Homo-oligomer: A and B are copies of this chain.
């Protein structure tokens, strides 16, 4: 399995998930134990993402967290304008995950996609795209296709210049970036919200996405009243939620933050560089990995043959082979993949 951004949960995370399978953090007054665990989970995520007094919740995944960021920004932008129901826009690099397209359609906001340079948001294009109707500027810290990190500080500055908020999608990158030199956290730049998913590189069980906000007002902008629950309101997009995801997030972070995640990052980076080198030596054009995703231009019939042979691989939008070096992807697996590739080409 070389195509997934999910992986085998850590054994402690798996045990915690199994223990909390029948609990619902969406009904905190009925399930107080898992509600307490959620507070711990958000504290861990805050520590990882440079937020001293974090607020947020464990979402169903990155898609929910990204939708919520757009929804909060839209709701607050509308409240601030006199003309009710005025259309707002969201500016994002074209590298943004397809969940932002989903969010825009759902929420009836205009998505302005700007070009990228070497896979990163082109700041001149962002500057040209933002205006007074911009509710949110999106930056990606670890793009889905090439693992690139946008210039977060500059994006946040451009957002501020038009009174917009900034959201960082670190769904996949968030558990790798603390060990890199990138600037991406709440401490590095005046960003407002972040997606950071425990069930990807964090090795929690699915479903465990992370939605973090600097200012509680963003959560308040999402809240609906909850009659027949003993809690008063609910800010999540889903109603019933998975206690397994929450409990396994805490267990994974307890087990792996920070040393285990650092080890995982080093190993993944080494594997990605090795694979990129091997593919390059074989004459396939390779996109240099920045975070551990390898993209390489393979003939389409070779790609198809490898898929038919049982390798779970996927393609970038441009059709390149895309290998995500997740914790379950070992050097041995990559070696066997290359051996198969050699035998078919």
Contacts and interface: CB of A to CB of B under 8 A. Distances in A.
Interface of A: 1, 3-9, 14, 17-18, 21-24, 26-27, 29-31, 60-64, 67, 71, 75, 85, 97-99, 101-102, 105-108, 144-145, 197, 199, 205-207, 209, 224-230, 234, 237-244, 307, 312, 314-317, 322
Contact of A22 (B9, B60, B228): B9
22 contacts: A3-B229, A4-B27, A6-B24, A6-B27, A18-B21, A60-B238, A61-B239, A63-B237, A98-B225, A98-B234, A101-B225, A102-B224, A102-B237, A106-B237, A108-B108, A197-B240, A199-B240, A206-B241, A206-B242, A207-B207, A227-B316, A228-B315
Given A17-B21, A22-B6, A237-B63, A317 B30 contact: no
A314 B237 contact: no
Nearest to A20: B206
A98 B7 contact: no
Contacts of A315: 228, 230
Contacts of A108: 85, 107-108
A240 B206 contact: yes
A101 B14 CA distance: 35
Main secondary structure of the interface of A (DSSP, over half): loop
Contact of A63 (B27, B199, B240): B240
Given A22-B206, A60-B60, A206-B22, A314 B6 contact: no
A317 B227 contact: yes
Given A61-B240, A62-B240, A30 B4 contact: yes
A242 B1 contact: no
Contacts of A27: 3-4, 6
Contacts of A31: 4
A99 B18 CA distance: 28
B228 A322 contact: yes
A106 B74 CA distance: 10
A242 to B, nearest CB: 5
Contacts of A26: 61
Contacts of A7: 22
A205 B99 contact: no
Contacts of A197: 240
A338 to B, nearest CB: 20
B317 A239 contact: no
